[in-house]
A and B are shown apart, each in its own frame.
Chain A
Amino acid sequence: MASESGLTELRRGVLGPCVLALLELRPRFGLELVRELSAADGLLTSDGTVYPLLNRLRDAGLVTSEWRDNEGERARRYYSITPAGEQILAGFRSDWDQFSATVGGVLNHTLRPGRAAAAPDSASAAAVTAPSTKGHRHDRHHH
């Protein structure tokens, strides 16, 4: 069973792509993102971490933000995904499918030895922290 710190690291690794996936559907404001992510059980350890993450995604050019002043609502800063963010997200989806299948295979003892040799641990780890954008599929997950 994974320790709490291990789970925290896992969450930390996938939170960015999850935020991008939510923004892919439509622009959202900060509290809205926090509520959506909190509703996904176990994904968010603390509400506050979303904001530094949003700022990093924006610094990296994956999201943009703008103030909106919709009628009947308070003024809010909305975040939108950029084309670069969409590309990164598509790459992560592809890598995630492959990575989760690999890990699942090892955990459930269904992975063939030859396959394990072709996918060394270092390569699998790299896929989580810095997935390649090359040759990824453009399949979409359901939200």
Chain B
Amino acid sequence: MTGTIIDHPLVRDYLRELDVAMRVLPAAQAHELREQITGHLDEALPPDASDEEIAAALSRLGPPGSLATEAMARGSGTVPGTDAPVTAGILIGRRLERVRGRTWLIAAVAVTLVVIAAFRTVTFLTAGSLENGSFNYGRWWYAQDTRHNVEASANDSTQSTAPVRSGQRQGYVVEVYNGTGVAQAIIGDGSGPSIGWNNPGGTDEQLAVSQGPFTTHDPQSYRYAPTGVIPPGHSRLVRVLWTSRICLQKGESQGVTRLILRVRVGWFTRTEVIPLSDGFYLIGPSQGHCVA
């Protein structure tokens, strides 16, 4: 799985320093600034940027401490260069900034403990879950699998079954809908030994997200990238490809009924398990070399 530029050690270090510097800011303000800075880096740098390019981009952004200071700066009741007054919320925030450092430290520790204790609850209260698209859109990625697909329905669920093509690339694509009120970023594959896999039995799994709005049901017409942001109320296609290695006897099948993603909302990264209304199954017999 290809990582994003946000996963690069230099960027991670920078964002960590930024988080520390922004501890004095109100949470919502810090949350927003972090989202803006990560979005800036994600777009300004190509996924394969060199260390030098990344270091230069971070240098242009300025020291994390300066960014936090800039975010705290309020002028004297106006926005710099204008005579626009700041809002009551900002004035309250400014008064809070005058609270002594030790008090802040105690408050920060208390808040951190509460946040950690209620992490899952808070995440879902503020973000909610992604879901399989409202039209339950999903299909095999490769035409040969679509041609040989057999659909079977039972108990309000559908099963798409295609013959296993041992040693070859196979895959599917499904619509993922963000019905929450905040943008959510799919940052990678969340599957693993303890939680299960996103494919029915293969290696070299590659997960990708369509770029741009979901406007047509032709999955091949989209551009795909390892990560993607889904704005509130929008959908994206998630594509999962793998090289089939599973050993299946004739008539025997194995499939996936859920998609497991790593999803980031602001500071929070979580593993999201999305039930698929349309399961994808491979059916034997396997041919050539396979892995039991």
Instruction: Spell out A's residues near B (CB within 8 Å).
Output: 12-17, 20, 30-31, 34, 38, 45-49, 51-57, 59-62, 67-77, 84, 88-89, 91-92, 128-133
Contact (A84, B232) CB under 8 Å given A51-B36, A59-B89: no
B230 close to A (CB within 8 Å): yes
Does residue B70 face the partner (Cβ distance < 8 Å to A)?
A: yes
Interface centre among B61, B62, B82, by most chain A C-beta atoms within 10 angstroms, is B82
The answer on a CB contact under 8 Å between B230 and A129 is no
A-B contact sample (14 more), CB < 8 A, given A57-B84, A61-B87: A16-B82, A45-B62, A46-B62, A47-B40, A48-B37, A48-B62, A52-B71, A56-B86, A70-B213, A74-B212, A75-B230, A75-B231, A130-B83, A131-B83
- Closest chain-B Cβ to A98's Cβ sits at a distance in Å of 15
B32 contacts A55, CB within 8 Å?
Answer: yes
Q: Which residues of A contact B228 (CB under 8 A)?
A: 74-75
- The chain A residue with its CB closest to the CB of B85 is A60
Give the complex CA separation of A51 and B211 in angstroms. 24
- Size category of the B interface is 35 or more
Query: Are B70 and A49 interface neighbours, CB within 8 A?
Result: yes
Pick the contact of B78: A49, A61, A129 (CB < 8 A): A129
> Can you list 10 A-B pairs with a CB-CB distance of less than 8 A?
A48-B61, A55-B71, A57-B79, A60-B87, A62-B84, A67-B232, A70-B212, A75-B231, A77-B39, A88-B82
B223 at the interface (CB under 8 A from A): yes
